[in-house]
Structure 1
Amino acid sequence: MGRAKMELKRIESSTSRRVTFSKRRNGLLKKAFELSVLCDVEVGVIVFSPQGKVYDFASSSMQNVIERYKMNLVDLSSTSSATEQNIQRWKQEATLNAMKIDFLEASNRKLMGENLESCSLEDLNKLECQFEQGLVNIRGIKSRLLSRQVTQLEEKTRVLSEENELLQNQCKETQLILDSTRLVALEDNDNQHKDVETDLYIGCPGKKKI
């Protein structure tokens, strides 16, 4: 059978508590020594008994371990301070961006003709100038688009005219060829009629004509 798991809580019996402390302390220091040897790491362990007695283990020197720990605490503190500064800066940037978004949304609503009651006369004059400038820009873009479309249509018309002219020329050439062919056929037909004997005679077929 396996050993039953002991519930982790304070041992009420002082005698049992001292025995357990002695055993666990020795085991802890032994594990620290094994860890330093097996993994080639610097380990320092300090244990204070309930009576205030100190038990410690250091793989090199306890003073060196403590000094190294203090140096790392300073580095961690610097890193934590830098992180805190970054967080503060990000919060400020987020606040500024939120203010910019609110301002742009309010300006957009005013440009749409909403929430104008709170605007002063100067603000309304500025909005009117913005509208007029916007209309000028829109008309300019519209004019350029229309001019571009007219140019494209003119080019398309020119291409279609050239294709139409080409087709007309092809039709004329085809008609000339057909007329020439028909004329040749008529001439051949006339020649064949001239070669046929049309004289009439009385008598049996095949006999010499008198």
Structure 2
Amino acid sequence: MGRGRVELKRIENKINRQVTFSKRRNGLLKKAYELSVLCDAEVALIIFSSRGKLYEFGSAGMNRTLERYQRCCYTPQDANAADRETQSWYQEVSRLKSKYESLQRAQRHLLGEDLGPLSVKELQNLEKQLEGALSAARQRKTQIMMEEMEELRRKERHLGDINKQLKNKLEAEGQGSFRAIQASWDSTALVGNTFSAQSSQSNTMDCEPTLQIGYHHYVPPEGATIARSVAGEGNFIQGWVL
């Protein structure tokens, strides 16, 4: 009994699809090899799986077969178009190379290098360029400095406002503290005055009159001279004072 005809459509089952791909791929690669050997043909086979994996076979080398394919497929018109495109690309590369060398030379001139071959007119143009660049740099510098000064002024005003607020707050708190301290001082002074009055009254009451009989012993001060007697009998110290 022969195998039934297989309907050509996408296999929905993923596993069956992968198994079928592996079997048919191997069979196709085998057929390509057999064709190249049996018929002495140059065969190239390229297969990409659904996951992007590459499978290839080239009896004479893949690159060689592809180059041969390109030579066979291109017509003379296409070849002429390719030559014209290649020529245009060469011209574009040459133009860009010349421009690059010119820019490098101009940069060296601006840096003060390789000025020997320049003429007077070229040097004058270079001088004007440098003066213009210097003027633009100075203007930009001035602009940046003005912006920084404005920013510093803004910060100064902000700090001044904060300082003023702190000063007012400190003055308000200081007045309250001063009033409290003054009240404390007044109460302390009142208590001290009362204590002094009581002490003076106590001292007055403690004092009593005393009676002294006789005379006080006289002690002469330092540097005082000792009196001599008129009769010349000898020196003596006055023992009492009237």
**TM-score normalised over the length of structure 1:** 0.52
- 1:151 is matched with 150
Change (3 A) 1:95 1:184: same
How many angstroms does 1:107 deviate by?
A: 0.8
* Count of residues in Structure 1 that have an aligned counterpart in Structure 2: 140
- Post-superposition CA distance 1:153-201 (Å, at most 9, x none): 21122122222222221221121111122133345556778999x687x
Q: Distance in 2 between matches of 1:82 and 1:149?
A: 61
How many angstroms does 1:118 deviate by?
A: 0.8
- 1:168 is matched with 167
Instruction: Report which of the two structures shows the higher radius of gyration computed on alpha carbons.
Output: 2
- 1:52 is matched with none
How many angstroms does 1:105 deviate by?
A: 0.6
| 2:101 partner letter | D
- 1:108 is matched with 107
RMSD: 4.0
| TM alignment of 1:60-75, pairs within 5 A | 73-75=72-74
Q: Distance in 2 between matches of 1:137 and 1:102?
A: 26
Provide structure 2 residue ranges, at least 5 long, that are not aligned to the other structure.
1-33, 42-68, 206-242
Q: Which moved more, 1:94-103 or 1:182-191?
A: 182-191
| 2:133 partner letter | G
- 1:28 is matched with 38
Report % sequence identity: 21
Provide structure 1 residue ranges, at least 5 long, that are not aligned to the other structure.
1-23, 32-69, 203-210
Q: Distance in 1 between matches of 2:175 and 2:79?
A: 97
**TM-score normalised over the length of structure 2:** 0.46
Q: Distance in 2 between matches of 1:117 and 1:103?
A: 16
